[in-house]
Every structure is written in structure tokens, then in C-alpha cells.
Amino acid sequence: MMPKIQFDSYDTTGFFDEMVMEDHSIQPHYQIFKERIQKMGWKRLNFLQHSADRAQLSLGMTFNVYSDNQGVERILHLDLIPRIISGKDWAFLEKGLKQRIEALNLFISDLYNEQKILKDKIIPKDLIFSGEYLKECEGLKPPQNVWTHISGSDIIRDGDGRFYVLEDNLRCPSGVSYMLENREILKRTFPEVFEKLNVRPVQDYSHHLRDMLESLTPITPATIAVLTPGIYNSAYFEHSYLAQQMGAELVEGRDLVVEDDIVYMKTIRGLQRVDVIYRRVDDEFLDPKVFRKDSLLGTPGLFNAYKKGNVVLVNAPGTGVADDKAVYTYIDKIVKYYLDEDIILPNVPTYLCGEKKDLKYVIENIANLVIKQTDASGGYGMLIGPKATKKEHEEFRAKILENPRNYIAQPVLNLSRVPTLTEGSIEGRHVDLRPYILYGKDIKIIPGALTRVALKKGSLVVNSSQGGGSKDTWVLDK
């Protein structure tokens, strides 16, 4: 007979736990959920976890890991214990994210037009032009002057319980389909808890997304297409899922053709004009006539059609200039410059290896820092100093000294933890948070998020490609 589910011996030492406090009392907003799982017991909880895994497979919620030569599709493991966020905490996050995305959008617009922030020497020109700046976008004015239509900032809580932004994702942020499908699975698993807690809904995300896309063109009804690199892309499930949910067309670059600077989609009835493209293809692959000539993922002439205002691209090309991890270090100055406000959601303290003083500190203290490549994602190009070997320290020192601009460093943070099901027990695992922001006529933040969890004990890396999983995120009503 399995023992009852208890939290008396749950380890909270040295970390901020979002459910269990240091004296082993339960946070008020978790109390109802805790009582429910204790009432159901271990056998039922394990059965429900197994059912959730099967549901993910049957729904096709899988992804590819590019570094895995076996080419095996995996599920993003969904842990049944949700991450619950109080209404008060969410109101703070909403306010901070709206401020941040508004300032970043103004920043991108300025960089590709007047460049006032560079002329006023708030940010070094070299930092911008040596990064993800696209000269081809100079002079562009997207509809409603919105560049960052869909974004997902990664947020963590430190040992003090405060929220910090770890990085901004302004190009093609992924994961929202997992947020939506995780919710469907958890609603079926704990229906009575949802009702008692007044969890705010997320299932209308696809409607909000389509409304935002339609607001960018005067044409009604608008023809919307989701541009995917194809079935071998790691996020293909998400591309097809969002297209289906929105009633949009799912297309690859070869399905589109440009004639007289108008974009058309090939159909069995002939060519059909496309008005808005939600593209999940990186800038450099969009148009072989303008960017990479060897790209087979884009469509020749697409960028020129966009420049002439004949099609809307979401997100706008060029947004990568603002989610460069080196530019991230200037976000507090960007907010102050464009909005004349102090930043609400602060950054994690960051050392810019392109600065001589910071470079010296990083090289001398590499064993105690997290090193990140400024143009990498998915947990790649990263070193966690305390968990790395001396040989790895030396290898990264050499990489940094060879190209300092390409690296930043941050202190090792005690990421907050949330109880997670393991083999026969419940243990704390580190988490981060990716809320999703839609920006059309106004800024809308979906009251939910993708919580990524480091499933390996002691690991701080939550990325799915590095063995991480996910949790449903319950935002409680105010």
C-alpha cells in the first residue's frame, strides 16, 4: 500500500518554493489543490499522470530535437501539478510586460527610421550594427507601426520570490500550443478544482490571435496564412495546431508565389491572394532574392511585396535586433528613454563581455557564472559555471576571448521551484515562465503562460531540447 501524499518532509531548503513555505505550510492559493490531490491518493494521481502522457501522444503534441541523430519525436512531458499564480502577482506581471513590449516596439521602430537613441548615445552604435540589425528594413513602417505582434518574455523568480525577466523573444516565440493543450488536459483531470479556484481561461487565445492578425489589414474578410518551414521543424505541431484553431491556411514557402508584388497561395482552384502571413520562418530564410540565396524555405519576392504594403508579415522582419541578449542589458535605459518611466520588471544582473571591465570579471569568475551566447536559443551555446568542468571553463574562455561581443554572463540564480511528480514522490523542480503578448490595436496579455520545468533533479535548464518538461499555469481571478 502506497503512503498518503504528504508535504511534511518536502525539501524547501535554499529555494523559494511557490507552493510550500519554509515552515511547510501551504501558500493560500494552493490550499484547495493540495487538499484535492491528498484526497485522491498516489494510485489515482499516478494513473492520471499516465493518462496525460497518452493524451499528449494522441494529440500529436510532439517535437524534434535537432541534436538527436535518431530523429525521434518526443512529447513535452506535462507534469500534473500545476503552477498557480495569484491574481495580485499576475496584475504586477501584466503591468511590467505591457511597459516592456511598448518600449521595445518603439525602440525597433526608431532603429529602422530616425535612430534617435543612437544619436543621443544611449546605446553604442557598434552594439546594434554588429548584432541582428537588418539594413534591408531601414525606412519601414509596418501597419499601425507595430513590429512585435507576438512576443514571449521568459520570466523567473529568484530566491527572494521577486520576478525578473531572463530574456525577450520577439521573433518567433514558440510554445503557446503547449499552453493551450496543457490546459485542456488539466481541465479534464481536475474539473472541480478549476471551478472552485476561478482559474482564468486561456482557450480564447486563437480567437485573439486571429483578431489581431485581421486588425493589421483593411481587407475583409482577410486571407491569413501560417508560414511553416515544414514537417521537420521542431515546432511543426504548433504551426499546424494554430492554423487549424484560427481557420487559417498552413503553407510552406513553395506554396506561395509573388506576381507584380502581390502574394498568392497556390490552390486547386488557382491562385488566391494572401493578406496576412504569420511566419514561423526566420528572417534570413524568408526571401532568397533579399536574404540567403540558398533558402528553400521562403518565397522569392516576398520581402518586396511586404515593403510595398501588399502583404503583412507577423512578426515584422528585423525584430531580432531587440531580442539580442546583448541589447537586453540596456532595457532599463530603453524604457526610460521612450516612456520616461522606471522599469517595472527588472532584468537579471548581466555582464556584457563586449565591455572590457565586464570581460575581465567574467574571465576571472567563469566558474561562478552562467555564460550565454547572444544569438543562441533553446539552451544551446550556454555554460553553467558551477556545474561545468575545468576543461569546459577553458574552452568557453577561449570562445569568449575570440568574440567577446557574442557572449553575456549572469550570476547563477536560485530559480523558484514548484512541486513535481517524480518516481514515487513529489519533489521541488526549478521552473521559468513564458507569458504570451499580442500587440495589434492594443496590447493584450493572455492570463496564462507556458511554465517550463527542469525535470532533472538540481538542473536549472528548463528547455525542452535539454530534457525539460512543462506545467499548466493557472492564473487566479483578481
Classified by CATH at the fold level, domain 204-314 comes out as Rossmann fold (3.40.50)
**What CATH number matches the domain at 351-411, 3.30.1490.270, 3.40.50.720, 3.30.450.90, 3.40.50.1820?**
3.30.1490.270
User: What φ, ψ does residue 267 adopt, rounded to 5°?
Assistant: -130, 170
Check residue 57 and give its pLDDT.
80
Kindly report, as residue ranges, where domains of CATH 3.30.1490.270 are found in the chain.
Answer: 351-411
Lowest mean pLDDT segment, chosen from 133-137, 205-209, 366-370, 374-378: 374-378
Residue 68 has pLDDT above 80, yes or no: no
Regarding predicted confidence, which is higher, 91 or 42?
Answer: 91
Lowest mean pLDDT segment, chosen from 39-48, 293-302, 327-336, 374-383: 374-383
Amino acid code (one letter) for 48: L
User: What confidence tens digit (pLDDT) does each residue in 385-424 have?
Assistant: 998 999 999 999 999 999 999 999 999 888 999 999 988 7
Confidence band, pLDDT 50/70/90 cuts, at residue 72: low
Which residue carries 516576398 as its cell?
Answer: 302
Check residue 3 and give its pLDDT.
67
The whole-angstrom separation of Cα 194 and Cα 203 is: 14
Check residue 62 and give its pLDDT.
65
User: What confidence tens digit (pLDDT) does each residue in 18-36 have?
Assistant: 999 988 899 999 999 999 9
Kindly report, as residue ranges, where domains of CATH 3.40.50.11290 are found in the chain.
Answer: 204-314
Check residue 152 and give its pLDDT.
94
Check residue 453 and give its pLDDT.
95
% of the chain beyond a pLDDT of 70: 94
For residue 148, which of 334, 347, 320 has the smallest C-alpha distance?
320
